Amino acid sequence: MIVVAAVAAKLIDRRIAHHKLAPGTETRYLVLRRTIFATIVFVGVLSALLVIPGVRAIAGGVLASSAVIGLVIGFASQRVIGNAVAGILIAFSQPLRLGDQVEVEGVEGVVEEIGLSYTWIRTRDNDRLVVPNQNIASNSLRNSTIRSERTLAEMTVKVPGTADLRSLLATLREEGDEAYLSDLGEQATFVVRRWVPGEQHAEAAASDLRLAVADRLKAAGVLAT
């Protein structure tokens, strides 16, 4: 019974895994695969144990006091069951998906894996942030990918207030999708924004934008301060 359950669970898991899916659908399928696999194995092991007469007799006594045992197990496994239910809710409501750029508990990274109990996030320095699914389901998070496949790179630059600001603004607008004068005084502050593909990291894109703006300022004979 145990072998049959394990083989059946593995075959079903492989069957589901062969599909190439979009990130949102893939996230649902991943949690569904693990839920089905765990359920089949659990039912198979339980069925195998009930074949043994001694275990069956013990099971009868257990069922007689199922209310007490259920209460004890419920309190003991509250976090485990809560994380599993939260994992299923995450898979279908999808506040985050596999491959999304997110910020959770003040840490930014890419969603690498969504399990039944925990979600794994790969940080910028290649560490792993392991977050209980209940925390994700009940707390706020920032997702930079789910509504758009683009990332916003932004930088600010200060130039002398005596420079030709109109000319500089026109030049900077050629370099970014948005550019505007945010402050004016002895020093003028410009903000430049550029939308980049989602797979490019925002910090790398912002670095490229700073270099491009610096080249523009040098060509205009203006030194950034």
What is the tens place of the pLDDT at every residue in 152-211? Answer: 788 888 998 888 899 989 988 888 888 989 888 888 999 998 887 765 566 777 888 888
* Interval 118-143: pLDDT, tens: 898 988 788 889 999 888 888 888 88
Element (H, E) at 213: helix 202-219
Q: Where are the domains of the chain?
A: 2-90, 95-143, 150-219
Query: Is 21's pLDDT higher than 70?
Result: no
Q: Please count the CA atoms within 13 angstroms of the CA of 178 that sit on its side-chain side.
A: 12
Secondary-structure class of domain 95-143 per CATH:
mainly beta
Q: What is the DSSP string of 86-137?
A: HHHHHHHH-SS-TT-EEEETTEEEEEEEE-SSEEEEEETTS-EEEEEHHHHH
Q: How far apart are CA 178 and CA 184, in angstroms?
A: 18
User: Binning pLDDT at 50, 70 and 90, where does residue 219 land?
Assistant: confident
Query: Is 71's pLDDT higher than 60?
Result: no
Q: Give, in order, the Cα–Cα distances in Å from 44 to each of 117, 171, 191.
A: 22, 69, 62
Q: Say which CATH topology domain 150-219 has.
A: Alpha-Beta Plaits (3.30.70)
Q: Which residues does residue 189 pair with via DSSP β-bridges, in sequence order?
A: 158, 183
Query: Is 62's pLDDT higher than 60?
Result: no
